[in-house]
Amino acid sequence: MAIVTLLTDSGKSDHYAGAIKAAILKVNPGISIIDISHEVAACDIAHGAFILKSVFREFPKGTVHLVGVDTVGNPGDNFIALQLEDYFFVGVDHGLFGLISDKNQQQGVILNTINAIETTFPERDVLAPAAAKLASGVAITNLGNPLTTFKKMINRHVKATRRQIAGHVIRVDHYGNLITNIPKTDFDILSKGKNFTIQFGGEKFKKIHTNYNQAEQGDCFLIFNSLGLLEIGIYKGNANELLGLEYDSPINITFEE
């Protein structure tokens, strides 16, 4: 089955998402179009990258992911198509794709170089036709000029020693929960046989839950979520508001020797 996913910052109240889908179906009415989200904060590359990184591998290999986040970009940013980890990605070369994987591209092209067009709606006029063609089996090399490399930003990395893991909040989700960049794999290695203290803001905790409902309503929970990342929240409450933490807030775990 040919699959194209959509991830955009266009919202749901306007015609944009529908127009992108129509452009895909004009090329191939048999394509299955799946919405990942149209609620990425406007031009927020970090938000878009977090969502895409969290979900793109859940789809079958060969899925085409169309990313319409900050498609205006910066002067000189190209529209590109990439093959990466056996998936295809279509979007703007402004750094977002460099945040979703540490792997090198398998193939890549610069779009809109063959019979180039000027458009104020590139998601519909450039990205959608390219995504539809890829999903229909057209070789990526037929869609544009070769792309030797694509822009990469540097994610915030966790700093880990035998005594401490220092991380940050990398996403405040829809529920107000705080998702950090501290992975369970690092915690499991460093915490063996040791007591620990997790500190953020003015709070200190010495326990990690295995399910959200293990906390009482209104109490704080700490859990390693489905992404394998430490998540902090208020059970049936909003941790972002109640704890005063936000994107990039520091989170530290200290281990007792």
How far apart CA 34 and CA 64 sit, in angstroms, is 10
- Ordered by start, the domain boundaries in the chain are 3-146, 159-255
What Å distances lie between residue 127 and 90, 200, 214, 227, CA to CA?
A: 6, 42, 45, 29
pTM of the model: 0.90
pLDDT single digits (tens) 189-204: 999 989 999 999 889 9
CATH number of 3-146: 3.40.50.10790
pLDDT single digits (tens) 159-175: 999 999 999 999 999 99
74 has pLDDT over 90: no
Dihedral sign, Cα of residue 35, residue 40, residue 45, residue 46: negative
Find the radius of gyration of the CA atoms of the chain: 21
Fold (topology level) of 159-255: Elongation Factor Tu (Ef-tu); domain 3 (2.40.30)
